[in-house]
Structure 1
Amino acid sequence: MSFNSDMTSDILDAIRAYIAADRTPYAIAIDGEWGVGKTYLVQNAIGDIIDDSNFLYVSLYGLSSIDGIESAIFTSASRLGEDDAGIFSGLLNTASSELTDGVRIGGLGYAVQYGLRKWKKRALDQAKKLTLCFDDIERWQGDIGVCLGYINGLAEHDGTKCILVGDLSKIPESQRTEFQRARTKTVRYVYTLAHSPTRLLSISLDIASIGSLEAKEILAKLISENTPRMIQFLEHIKCQNIRLLADAFQLCGDVAMHNLDAFHTSPTKALAFFEITLAATKLVQMKAADGLFLSSILKYDDRDALDLMKKLGYDPSQDEDNSASPIPKALLEAIFYSSEGVRVSSIINLVTGGFYRPSAFVDFFDNWKAPEPFEYYIDTFKFWYLPDDESKKVFEAVISSVFDEKSITHPGNLLRIADRLTSDIKRGVVDLDFEQAKKGLIKLIDELYDHKKMEYVVTVGERLWSDNYLYSLDILEHVRERNTRYLSERDLSMSASVWSRIKETPDEYLEILDSEENTPLFAAYIQPHDIVSALEALSNSQLFELTRWMGSRVTSARAKSAVDEEHEKALNIASFLEEKYGAIFSVRAGHMKQIARILRNRVTDFDPDYLANTIQPAGEDVR
């Protein structure tokens, strides 16, 4: 029989009733996922019910035999003081012939049984019961039937109160059938420990080790002012783990205590910081044994987030439930589709290192400021909790900043505003014409792009958990299309100017190229000759160094997306060079052919068939 409990007090009441009962020839169990607080409950809260001298805690982690269990019981019991259970504190030094003879014949198991009998007698004399807590049942390494059979003997035949603790869903598949069979006889009641999200947040913050009272108060205020949103976030990333939450609070507290002004000034950014930290903590704990994974995220530099997510198995076209990725989509989105002004790479450094490094947070808080009205507006819980007069002021301020001042120029923020505004019109919150409002938004967006006043953002319109775009999908697609063109035009303009600058100042070519390494350089031309003429302005020594630079670039993880993006147009440059220099044999021509080969093959390895397959030389006889 199983019960779900949302309150620790319910389970404590059940344990109290179990212990108080005269005859209980069975054990009870506390079930719950890792980190929910089971061990904390039995090691701390149960002390209010059971006197320490009548309670033993035993971990089954790694044990595989009855001898192992009895040794663990004996070890735990021997730690009790004389005042608590003198029968055990002096057990090893006793001169009792009964004990010494029994140990000689029956071994350590006899000593345990002897001690338990003695202790049980004293407990009975005091009208108390012996209680054993067996934790980590899912980590038992032997036959689960043997383990439960031993516990059943204690409960049924010796009258011992036995409490099993563990995550029963993690019992190995090979042991499931035997566990269910043995459990039917041994465990009568299973109580599932779970907490309401509000309680979960409160407990986690309470047990988090934060060295600054002021920092802890900031986090407590963050919870109290954003409880509904934080609850939704916990549900979204499927987090019910007290330990994990406490770790995230501790890390945030460590950062906050060194940057109190920033956390006081910008609670919106502080909330985003906590959410990303929590999601990153969960992700790193999930993949702690994967060195390749940890290495890849440590290299992340806040660019090409979508590219990294895809490498980690993210598929934006798949629903969460149908994703084959071992990493939940929601977790990746919560980390890498982050709030502007929260640098994810610094948080990854914090989470993987486990402590605050000031060097990782240089300039991190420079743009943390008091929340803008639009930040309140796009936060569903904040806006919908406001009184009418305050919400009206926020809405009017947002409309003014969007359409009159045109001060909101980040496409992601404009999309969130569009999502909120169209939803509010449909809900009857604001009195605006739906179609006219959408036309006005699209007109504004086009104006910002046309006049190059829109901020340059690589990825926009992510289907975030809080952004449904239910009534603004057409605006979303329009922004995506305009943003792609906007970035291409900028890249083309920037890259074209790069080749012009190289042609004008060839001595600075490497510095110029280094600054644009991660852009599609070799696709930035109107005619292939535009790039070739810049290459021809370089000396042989410069061309040689250029081929080495290109070789490093094609193997660079950061530049990979740019190399792939430019490849189709880069083939035209390769063909141009091959046609012009294919029949020429000199050091300079060799450099040009090497450049063509790298552009064509995207590798630096020697290709013995390259000349034969791509260049038809005149072929002079050598005599």
Structure 2
Amino acid sequence: MQTEIISNEKTNQALEDYLIRYCTRNIPPYFSVLIEGPWGSGKTWFINCLREKLNNIHKKRCLYVSLYGAKQTSDITDQFFQQLHPRLASEGVQRSWSILKSMVKVSLRMDLDFDQDRDTLNVSLPELGKMASPEGSILIFDDFERCGIPPSEVLGFINQFVEHEGYRVLILANESKIENGDKKFEEIKEKVIGRSFRIKPQTKQAIDSFIDELVNDDSIEVLKTRKKLILDVERRGKHNNLRLVRQAVLDFSDIWSCLPVEKEELKKNLDFLDRLVLDVFSFSIEYRAGTIKPEHILKLENGGFLFSQIKSDCNKTSTDPSDFDKARERISVHKLTESWEFALSPATYFAFFSQGHLSHHEAADGIAYSRYFITDQNPVWHQLWYRRKLDDESFTRLSAEALDKLSCLQYSEWGELFHIVGILLNLAEKKLINYSIDEIFSIAKDVVDRLATQKRINFGNRKSESRGYFDKESAFNHGFIGIKIPQFQKFIEYYDDALRKGRHEALFEWANEWMEELNTNVKLWSSRINPKSEVDALYANQAIFCYINPSTMTKSIINSQSNTINEINQALQYRYGRLNTINQWQLEELSFWQECLAEIETILQSRDKKLLSTFHLNENLVPTIKNIVRKLEELKQKISH
């Protein structure tokens, strides 16, 4: 039997007309109809639309069952029963389920395997006897390929209703996924299925339906006026999968619900709305099709959005395209490679698709740094970041203002400072300002020196530095424009040197304060270096012992009583319980403990052995320190090799 291909919207209408005739003609057809197509092609959506017309216009009731996961015929007939008797099948009468089915049970004789033997099968299919006429119901079997019953047996089950009872039966399947090991399937298929059609998605109509599902949703009007844009995205992707489109509609609704949509300027900014629809539908469809990952959105260049944690596959020397190269090719299909054009920041899209949701704070940040809402109230660096939108007068004014504010130390926060320096270096490189790259670099270093002298460089708090590892490439969800200029990298190093110097001085002060706690509150002292102490662990991941004189630590230990010694011992065991190459900062404390150990052992040689504190030092703390030194030395040797 040849499959008839339904390839466009118009011929799908022809298929619908045929199926209505098939389902409503007075003469029983004695064959079923197969509607075939890949997953996501819209078979279920198409049949639901057909069911609605058959019911509303032609007064034909359709009984729909999904064969997905069915392992026995009773799993199928139970679904019919629940539709025919929703009250009887409700939770309140579940205990009487078997009795109810037996009351309406029809004993059917059918040739399940077409071997000419009449096999007896008791099918709990209620009240089907009166539905064989044109006035009866139409049976629809969806997800045929996902049924747990062998395909030939399922067709044998369906054949009873088609051949012997004259039912109108529609079967929905992805034939490419039907089990090939069933040798009788093709033979039985020719006897049971009279017509077979293959359809492609009716995307335009489906989009209307998906949008209408968003009842009382504020995003409906936005989507309804941009259906052509959505259709263009789907067609460029060439996935032919309506499930992806429907999920993209839901994704857009989720993102829209998090945006500050009460602001009129958001709704009135048509360019922003167009771009938001393009971004969300393109990213959603490709992400859910498995062609891109959320981190690929962050990795797009040309807009300055670069993140080291996902650079690795770009550095591959393999001749095969890297994972990102393949993703970029897919993204370029939708013309999304210019990340500075995004409606929201790449970080906002990354947050949504990686987490599955978007906080109002993340959404607000995405709007705040969107180029579609740039005004003269935005920071100077932000306006210059999107300089493609500026006229000559505004550009000249802003570039001069940026340099003036930089020289006057108005940028002390590292994010703004890095953005301004990167932008000015970039403008100097392109000869858009009357300064050379080296001149801007010199000015920037002088600014750092003066900020350091005035102690205005933020080096963080006791627990962590002010900047993370990846902050070398971006701030405020925007990558640094001048990141590829060598002088910009040198500027970052220069700033970090000043930051480390300031932090180094502060750590000496903090360490002295911490050592005072050893004499007043040893438990609090211990919690500062215990990684399991969530609140007080200020120095759990810092080489704080490097800022203490070993003799000071030795004196505190020797003068301590047993309870303090044991508390110190436990704290050190927690701190150095896991040594690995990731925590290489721990190696900085090796020399400290080597000196402490030597001093303590020297003192213990002449110390009274009968003192309880001496006993705990020899039995507990000294072995712990020896073990720390040994493990750190092993780690050092491992790293060196």
- With normalisation by structure 2, the TM-score equals 0.53
TM-aligned CA distance change 1:101 to 1:252, over 3 Å? closer
Q: Is the 8 A contact 2:68 2:146 kept in 1?
A: yes
Which of the numbers 561, 570, 576 marks the counterpart of 2:595?
576
Equivalent residues in 2 for 1:239-278, closer than 5 Å: 241=244, 244-245=247-248, 248=251, 251-252=254-255, 255=258
- Give the SS at the match of 1:459: helix
Structure number, greater radius of gyration: 2
Does 2:542 correspond to 1:520?
yes
Please give the alpha-carbon distance, in whole angstroms, between the structure 1 residues aligned to 2:64 and 2:214. Answer: 24
Amino acid of the structure 1 residue aligned with 2:38: D
Please give the alpha-carbon distance, in whole angstroms, between the structure 2 residues aligned to 1:45 and 1:447. Answer: 74
- Give the SS at the match of 1:193: coil
Please give the alpha-carbon distance, in whole angstroms, between the structure 2 residues aligned to 1:437 and 1:496. Answer: 35
- Identify the residue that residue 410 of structure 1 maps to in structure 2: 415
Which of the numbers 120, 123, 127 marks the counterpart of 1:109?
123
Does 2:553 correspond to 1:535?
yes
- Identify the residue that residue 294 of structure 2 maps to in structure 1: none
Does 2:131 correspond to 1:119?
yes
TM-aligned CA distance change 1:347 to 1:250, over 3 Å? same
TM-aligned CA distance change 1:248 to 1:101, over 3 Å? closer
- Give the SS at the match of 2:484: helix
Which of the numbers 613, 627, 630 marks the counterpart of 1:597?
627
TM-aligned CA distance change 1:143 to 1:102, over 3 Å? closer
Please give the alpha-carbon distance, in whole angstroms, between the structure 1 residues aligned to 2:565 and 2:83. Answer: 74
Please give the alpha-carbon distance, in whole angstroms, between the structure 2 residues aligned to 1:482 and 1:222. Answer: 50
Spell out, residue by residue over 1:507-551, the C-alpha distance to the aligned partner (whole angstroms, 9 max, x if none): 3474866464364325866xxxx4535634745366654554454
Q: Is the 8 A contact 1:208 1:249 kept in 2?
A: no
Spell out, residue by residue over 1:468-508, the C-alpha distance to the aligned partner (whole angstroms, 9 max, x if none): 99x97733x77667657755764564355334322245334
Q: How far did residue 57 of structure 1 move?
A: 0.9
Please give the alpha-carbon distance, in whole angstroms, between the structure 2 residues aligned to 1:236 and 1:494. Answer: 55
Please give the alpha-carbon distance, in whole angstroms, between the structure 1 residues aligned to 2:581 and 2:268. Answer: 36
- Identify the residue that residue 497 of structure 1 maps to in structure 2: 506
- Identify the residue that residue 294 of structure 1 maps to in structure 2: none
- Give the SS at the match of 2:132: helix
- Identify the residue that residue 53 of structure 2 maps to in structure 1: 48
Q: Is the 8 A contact 2:106 2:125 kept in 1?
A: yes
Q: How far did residue 563 of structure 1 move?
A: 6.5
Please give the alpha-carbon distance, in whole angstroms, between the structure 2 residues aligned to 1:275 and 1:561. Answer: 42
Q: How far did residue 60 of structure 1 move?
A: 0.8
TM-aligned CA distance change 1:120 to 1:369, over 3 Å? closer
Q: Which has the higher helix share?
A: 1
TM-aligned CA distance change 1:468 to 1:231, over 3 Å? farther
Equivalent residues in 2 for 1:540-559, closer than 5 Å: 540=560, 544-553=566-575
- Identify the residue that residue 142 of structure 1 maps to in structure 2: 149
Does 2:45 correspond to 1:59?
no
Q: Is the 8 A contact 2:7 2:200 kept in 1?
A: yes
Q: How far did residue 571 of structure 1 move?
A: 2.8
Equivalent residues in 2 for 1:405-554, closer than 5 Å: 405=405, 410=415, 414=419, 456-460=467-471, 474-475=484-485, 483=492, 490=499, 493-494=502-503, 497-504=506-513, 506-508=515-517, 510=525, 514=536, 516-517=538-539, 519-522=541-544, 530=548, 532-533=550-551, 535-536=553-554, 538=556, 540=560, 544-553=566-575
Please give the alpha-carbon distance, in whole angstroms, between the structure 1 residues aligned to 2:82 and 2:245. Answer: 29
Please give the alpha-carbon distance, in whole angstroms, between the structure 2 residues aligned to 1:57 and 1:137. Answer: 12
- Give the SS at the match of 2:69: coil
Q: How far did residue 43 of structure 1 move?
A: 3.4
Q: Is the 8 A contact 2:422 2:483 kept in 1?
A: no
Q: How far did residue 143 of structure 1 move?
A: 1.6
TM-aligned CA distance change 1:180 to 1:411, over 3 Å? farther
TM-aligned CA distance change 1:260 to 1:19, over 3 Å? same
TM-aligned CA distance change 1:484 to 1:143, over 3 Å? farther
Q: Is the 8 A contact 1:132 1:162 kept in 2?
A: yes
TM-aligned CA distance change 1:364 to 1:483, over 3 Å? same
Q: Is the 8 A contact 1:29 1:163 kept in 2?
A: no
Q: Which runs of 5+ in 1 are unaligned?
A: 82-91, 125-129, 287-305, 378-382, 426-430, 604-608, 610-623
TM-aligned CA distance change 1:77 to 1:207, over 3 Å? same
Please give the alpha-carbon distance, in whole angstroms, between the structure 2 residues aligned to 1:507 and 1:76. Answer: 76
- With normalisation by structure 1, the TM-score equals 0.54
Q: How far did residue 567 of structure 1 move?
A: 3.1
Q: Is the 8 A contact 2:421 2:444 kept in 1?
A: no
Please give the alpha-carbon distance, in whole angstroms, between the structure 2 residues aligned to 1:236 and 1:545. Answer: 66
TM-aligned CA distance change 1:73 to 1:314, over 3 Å? farther
Amino acid of the structure 1 residue aligned with 2:244: N
How well do the aligned residues superpose, as a CA RMSD in angstroms? 7.0
Amino acid of the structure 1 residue aligned with 2:515: P
Q: Is the 8 A contact 1:138 1:168 kept in 2?
A: yes
Q: Is the 8 A contact 2:74 2:124 kept in 1?
A: no
- Identify the residue that residue 614 of structure 1 maps to in structure 2: none
Please give the alpha-carbon distance, in whole angstroms, between the structure 2 residues aligned to 1:547 and 1:276. Answer: 55
Q: How far did residue 134 of structure 1 move?
A: 2.0
Equivalent residues in 2 for 1:122-271, closer than 5 Å: 122-123=134-135, 131-148=138-155, 150-151=157-158, 161-165=168-172, 171=177, 175-176=179-180, 178=182, 182=186, 185=190, 186=193, 188-193=196-201, 195=203, 206-208=212-214, 216-217=218-219, 220=222, 241=244, 244-245=247-248, 248=251, 251-252=254-255, 255=258
